[in-house]
């Protein structure tokens, strides 16, 4: 059980005890006056509340000796009980604020150290799926969500970096480290919010890779003009996937297996640096297949030309983008090698 859940249960139990003490003292006093003085329940309850709250309006009816003794007992016990209940509520509230402030400062310090991370704007149904996919890769990310309930759900899932704020605001994106981020996805519930988020993020980080969701198909060109590199329209993508599943179910199963990691395979792209040993080499002599067990699906030249299923005679050039399929470990090694950080296998 998480610390957040433990504290929430503790807070509820303390508040329950405080409320129970107040109701118990009130019921005790009302029944006591009713039995001793023979008053009506309303008069007994009224006298009890006046005694517990120390308002001091005066006695409802003249008290007998037994009634006065009971009133003294109620004052000593009841006022103490009410004071304890009030102090308990105050303690819970203050402790909640202190823990919230401490947790915010701790998360803020950690987020300031993040670099080359992902930013997910919106923790709805789509945002939650994106979080799960990135969690599987072990990469760093920050979630921005304005709904307090969804923020709590993210914290319950032990998502470390969560910001309760508005992703359309510049201060919120700066808090998430947008200037140091690798990519941002805008999957808010309104197209207008996604457009504004893309505009602000593009202004703060011109080189940021931005992916945005278009709820309505007509929002796609607006998001592109706002600065999104990729726009995903779930209705269009869903329609295409259903068509593939209907016409070619085996291919759909294969693509699902790759995308979900069921085959322990991932699809990625890497860029060949000038210092990489791959630059100037033929595909057949790079040992990508035999050494790394990586399948090169296609190559995109810096001029935009795409070469699908390249042959062994294909010669890599600096700036080429390799689209490959393989295990996480092999693809990580390919990325490092393409950047020129390790020698040829």
Domain ranges of the chain: 3-110, 114-232, 264-338
Counting every residue, how long is the chain? 345
Q: How far is CA 186 from CA 121, 201, 248, 252, in A?
A: 5, 10, 31, 27
* CATH ID of 264-338, from 3.20.20.210, 3.30.70.1450, 3.40.718.10, 3.30.590.10: 3.30.70.1450
For the chain, percent helix, then strand, then coil, each to nearest 5? 55, 15, 30
Per-residue model confidence (pLDDT) at position 195: 95
Q: Is 40 helix (H, G, I), strand (E, B) or coil?
A: coil
Q: Name which of 179, 195, 176 is nearest 187 in CA terms.
A: 195
Q: How far is CA 288 from CA 236, 317, 318, 332, 342, in A?
A: 35, 15, 17, 12, 14
pLDDT tens across the length of the chain (345 residues): 444 454 456 567 777 777 787 788 888 888 888 888 888 888 888 888 887 776 666 677 788 888 788 877 877 777 777 777 777 777 766 665 555 544 555 666 677 788 899 999 999 889 998 998 888 878 899 999 998 888 888 888 888 788 888 999 999 999 899 999 999 999 998 999 999 999 999 999 999 999 999 988 888 899 999 999 999 888 777 777 788 777 778 777 766 766 666 666 777 888 888 888 888 888 888 877 767 778 888 888 888 788 888 888 888 888 888 888 887 788 888 888 888 775 444
Residue 223 near residue 231, CB atoms below 8 Å: yes
Per-residue model confidence (pLDDT) at position 142: 92
Q: Which helix (H) or strand (E) holds 19?
A: helix 3-37
Alpha-carbon distance of 152 to 171, in angstroms, equals: 21
Per-residue model confidence (pLDDT) at position 187: 93
Q: Do domains 3-110 and 264-338 have the same CATH topology?
A: no
CATH 1.10.3430.10 fits 3-110, yes or no: no
Residue 301 near residue 307, CB atoms below 8 Å: yes
Per-residue model confidence (pLDDT) at position 8: 58
Per-residue model confidence (pLDDT) at position 66: 81
Q: Name which of 225, 222, 227, 193 is nearest 210 in CA terms.
A: 227
Q: Is 58 helix (H, G, I), strand (E, B) or coil?
A: coil
* CATH ID of 114-232, from 3.40.50.300, 1.10.300.10, 3.40.50.720, 3.40.50.10440: 3.40.50.720
């Amino acid at each position: 059980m998480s610390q957040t859940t433990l504290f929430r249960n503790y807070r509820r139990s303390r508040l329950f005890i405080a409320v129970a003490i107040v109701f118990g003292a009130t019921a005790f006093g009302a029944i006591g006056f009713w039995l001793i003085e023979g008053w009506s329940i309303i008069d007994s309850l009224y006298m009890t509340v006046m005694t517990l709250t120390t308002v001091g309006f005066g006695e409802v009816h003249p008290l007998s000796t037994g009634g006065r003794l009971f009133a003294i007992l109620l004052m000593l016990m009841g006022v103490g009980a009410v004071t304890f209940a009030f102090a308990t509520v105050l303690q819970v509230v203050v402790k909640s604020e202190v823990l919230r402030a401490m947790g915010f400062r701790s998360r803020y310090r950690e987020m300031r150290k993040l670099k080359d991370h992902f930013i997910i704007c919106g923790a709805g149904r789509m945002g939650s799926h994106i979080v799960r996919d990135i969690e599987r890769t072990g990469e760093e990310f920050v979630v921005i969500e304005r709904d307090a309930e969804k923020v709590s759900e993210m914290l319950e899932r032990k998502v470390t970096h969560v910001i309760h704020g508005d992703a359309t605001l510049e201060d919120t994106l700066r808090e998430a480290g947008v200037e140091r981020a690798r990519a941002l996805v805008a999957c808010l519930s309104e197209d207008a919010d996604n457009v504004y988020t893309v505009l602000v993020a593009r202004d703060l980080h011109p080189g940021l890779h931005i992916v945005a969701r278009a709820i309505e198909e007509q929002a796609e060109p607006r998001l592109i003009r706002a600065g999104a590199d990729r726009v995903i329209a779930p209705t269009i993508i869903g329609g295409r996937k259903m068509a593939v599943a209907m016409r070619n179910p085996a291919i759909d199963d294969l693509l699902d297996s790759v995308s979900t990691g069921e085959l322990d395979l991932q699809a990625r792209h890497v860029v060949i640096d000038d210092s990489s040993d791959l630059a100037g080499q033929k595909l057949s002599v790079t040992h990508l297949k035999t050494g790394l067990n990586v399948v090169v699906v296609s190559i995109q030249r810096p001029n935009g030309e795409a070469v699908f299923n390249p042959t062994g005679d294909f010669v890599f050039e600096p700036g080429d983008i390799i689209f490959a399929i393989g295990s996480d470990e092999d693809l990580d090694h390919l990325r490092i090698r393409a950047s020129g950080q390790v020698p040829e296998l």
